[in-house]
Each structure stands twice: as structure tokens, then as C-alpha cells.
Amino acid sequence: MRDIDRAVRQLPRETGPAAWNALLPEAKPRAQLNENRRADWVVIGAGFTGLSAARRLAELHTADDIVVLDALGVAEGAAGRNSGFMIDLPHVLTSGDYSSNEGNDRFDTRLNRAGIEYAMSAKHEFGMSDEAIALTGKINGAVTARGVANNDHYAALLTTLNEPFERYDSSAMRQITGTNSYVDGLFNPGTAMIQPAMFIRDYARAIESQGVRLYERSAVTQTTRSGRHWVVKTAQGSVECANVILAVNGHLESFGYYARQLMHIVTYGSMTQNLTPDQLIRLGGRARWALTPADPLGTTVRRISGTGGDRLIIRNRVTFNPTMTASDAQLQSAARAHDRSFKDRFPMLNDVRMEYRWGGRLCLSRNDVSVFGELEPGLFAACCQNGLGTAKGTISGKLIAELASGLDGHLIDDLKHAPEPTRLPPNLIARIGVGTVLRWGEWRAGNEL
């Protein structure tokens, strides 16, 4: 076995606050790794993938020492920045209509459902609330005739896949959302909706109660292997272990793997202030609903009611950021787009201000595949969740722990034998090419944005 000594090229840097986490009571900070210690397993990354991997390892190896390291606090990364849709059905962001081909769509659905099932089993096992996670379904909302055509197309796909759905007309959409903007909706019952920061914080605490040791603000800066042992280093400590699981999504590239095969995308969110009783009357509709856009590059909208009050959340705009960091100008430009989308949909709320604005990272591959498997002896990875990491990360974390434990199964086999992410063109060309495709897609989405 050859020796390895790799410095991590880049550490996570976030844009704006993790709004979902900011709604919750302040969390007691966990320890940083500040000693040289040993463990049986080290999981790098405490998002959906890393925590699911750690949970599964703890289930399979009750006597083992399992350490999880994250560069940030729990729920401060993408896990506390996403829109909270754990979607079961095909949701391919790089396609014009969310679908790939029938074989991939069926495989994706099986995989996503297994992820939702594992997350729901955590809810029951660890006593999480309905606010943290509930199987409520979601609606693809259409604002324009083009959006309705997209919903028609998606309905035809679901019929082929033998998946249940319901269509809503404009009046049903108004009763749900309180706004006249939506002319059509396509309801899918199988999506679980999460308060992502609440879910991930509850998940982390539950896994710690199973004996897993989680260190926050402990960025891994170097990985080395000599003989059979890995040493994972942070600024102030290290862990020597036999097995490492990388659950860092796009930061896999920072660890020296899959250079120029992963697309680093940033997408943006804005969350309103807690709506006043008067604003809630003007809004009307239900207290909780969740809309994905009929066009993949349109606007996601959620209405929430719970910890942190009653709020609306807007997500749109995607930028290609090979450096994995968005600029202030990009955040401000997204904020302007959010304000336009909000004003178009909720003209009755012209006095509502946005309390939080943020960006967060997605990792996509051109051919919509993830990275799953043993990259070096004793070093495993489950990364590149293609924008759907709440469900896909949960299942691929569980499965990578099983693979690393010598287990097998249909889903593991299919993931292991999936193609690799296809290569991207050289940086400048990729920047221009991907940027142009995204801008064109957003232009085509028109008022769905």
C-alpha cells in the first residue's frame, strides 16, 4: 500500500447566516478536537450524509469508537441552509423537466425513498417532532402557461412510473397559499418536509446518545496514511484510525479527488420576518405549505409556522462557483431577484421585510451521478448529492457505512457500479459554459422565477 500525505486545499466558507438554525434556540457549542487520539472510524462532515453514516456505523458496531469531525457548527453548513424538501421522485436539476430517463428515474425514486425511510425511522426512534420532519407531500406550483405545460409533462412521467399525484386548479392553489399567483399545482404525497436545522440538530444529538463523538469547528486540514493507518489532522489535533468516510459533498475536490468532475453551484434563500397577525390575515391560506417550482430553475416557496413564528421563504437563482464561495455581489443580486419574486406572488405583503439572506453550496455532476465507494484502501466517500442531499445524502451515508463494514445489497451494488461524474471542460470554458446555461435556463423560466 502506498503512503499518502495530502493537504486539504480549501475549507468551507459560508455566505450569510444559516437562517433555519438562527430560528432555533442557541445551541451549546461542542468541543473542538484539540488532542491526538485514536478511533475505529472517522467520518468527515456532519451533514445528512455524515450523520447517517455515523448512525449506521453505531448500529452495526456497538463497541467501536466513532468520531465525526465538522469544520463548522452542526447545521451551519448546507444542512441548515437548504429548503427542507426530502423529495422521493425524480428531481434532476440539470434537466429542463426534472426527469432523466425511465431507468434512472426509477432508481432515483427507490434511492430517495430509502433515504426518507431512514430519516423517518430516526424520527420514530429518537422522538423527533412533526416540525423537524413530517411526511406531508409537496406541490409543483405553476405561475405561467409554460409552468402548466411543465406540470403536464411531469404528470405524464409520473403516470409512466405508476406514481400517484393530484392536480390542483387556481382556486385550490389560492386556498392553500393565499395568493392568486399560482394557476396550477401538481401534488406529490411522498415528500417529507423538514425544518432542516432542527432535524439535523436532533439527529446529531441522537447519534451522540448512541456513543458517537462529534467535534465541531474542527476542520480537517490533512489526511495521511502509512501502512494500514490513516491519520486525520485538524489545526489542533488528530485522529488515527483504520477507516475514514468522506461525507463533505463538493469539498471532496478539496481533499484531492475528482478534480474538474464536480460542479460547484451556489443557490440562495431569503426568509421574511415573523409575520404579524395583520399580515397573516392579509396573506390567508394555510399555515404550512411547500412549493417547488414547475420549472427546475424557478422559485421554491415555503410557508412555515412553528419555532421562530410564521414566515415565508423564497429560494431561487443559481450561480456556478468553482471556488465554492459566492461573492457579496452575487448574494445581493439574488436578494433583488427574491424581492421581485416575493412582490409578484404576495402583493398584499408589501410591508414585509426579509430578515435573513443567505447562499449555500450544491454539488452537481454533469451526468447526475454521485460519488460512492472506496477511493483508497480504508478511505470511503459518499459525496456529490446533485442538489437533493437531504434524501440522497441520508441514504448514501447509511449505505457507505454498510459498504465500509463489508455488507452488500442491491442499492449498494447499483451505486458502486454507477458511472463516474463526467469531466468538465477547462475552468474558463466551464465557467462561461455552465454560467451561460444557467442564465439561459433562468431567462426561459420567466415568471416561474
CB atoms inside a 10 Å sphere around CB 121: 12
Q: From CA 179, how far away is CA 254, in angstroms rounded?
A: 44
Q: From CA 380, how far away is CA 397, in angstroms rounded?
A: 10
By CB under 6 A, is residue 316 in contact with ligand FAD?
no
The pairing of strands 138-142 and 133-134 is: unpaired
Q: Coil, helix or strand for 371?
A: strand
Query: Please, which residues bridge with residue 67 across strands?
Result: 42, 213
Out of 78, 212, 244, 294, which residue is the one contacting ligand FAD (CB under 6 A)? Answer: 78
Out of 50, 147, 293, 296, which residue is the one contacting ligand FAD (CB under 6 A)? Answer: 50
By CB under 6 A, is residue 251 in contact with ligand FAD?
yes
Comparison of 157 and 194: residue with beta carbon closer to ligand FAD: 194
- The contact pattern for ligand FAD, residues 198-237, with x = CB under 6 A and - = no contact, is ---------------------xx-----------------
Sole window of 42-50, 120-128, 280-288, 438-446 interacting with ligand FAD (rule: CB under 6 A) = 42-50
Comparison of 185 and 397: residue with beta carbon closer to ligand FAD: 397
DSSP letter, residue 143? -
- The contact pattern for ligand FAD, residues 335-374, with x = CB under 6 A and - = no contact, is -------------------------x-x------------
Q: Please give the full DSSP string across 203-239, using - where no structure is assigned.
A: HHHHHHHTT-EEESS--EEEEEEETTEEEEEESS-EE
175, 74, 159, 78: which is closest to 389 by C-alpha?
78
By CB under 6 A, is residue 393 in contact with ligand FAD?
yes
Asked if residue 352 lies in contact with residue 267, where contact means CB atoms within 8 angstroms, the answer is no
Sole window of 41-49, 99-107, 150-158, 181-189 interacting with ligand FAD (rule: CB under 6 A) = 41-49
Q: From CA 289, how far away is CA 175, in angstroms rounded?
A: 11
In single-letter form, the type of residue at position 66 comes to I
By CB under 6 A, is residue 390 in contact with ligand FAD?
yes
Sole window of 153-161, 202-210, 247-255, 256-264 interacting with ligand FAD (rule: CB under 6 A) = 247-255
By CB under 6 A, is residue 128 in contact with ligand FAD?
no
All cell numbers assigned to 238: 488528530
Sole window of 67-75, 139-147, 334-342, 407-415 interacting with ligand FAD (rule: CB under 6 A) = 67-75
CB atoms inside a 10 Å sphere around CB 353: 9
- We find the least distance from the C-beta atom of residue 145 to ligand FAD, in angstroms, to be 26
Sign of the dihedral defined by the CA atoms of residues 17, 19, 21, 25, in that order: positive
Q: From CA 253, how far away is CA 89, in angstroms rounded?
A: 28
- We find the least distance from the C-beta atom of residue 429 to ligand FAD, in angstroms, to be 25
Sole window of 82-90, 277-285, 401-409, 411-419 interacting with ligand FAD (rule: CB under 6 A) = 82-90
Sole window of 56-64, 70-78, 166-174, 398-406 interacting with ligand FAD (rule: CB under 6 A) = 70-78
Give me the phi and psi of 129, to 5 degrees please. -85, 170
Interface residues with ligand FAD (CB under 6 A) are 8, 11-12, 44-50, 69-72, 77-79, 81-85, 219-220, 247-249, 251, 267, 269, 315, 360, 362, 385, 387-391, 393
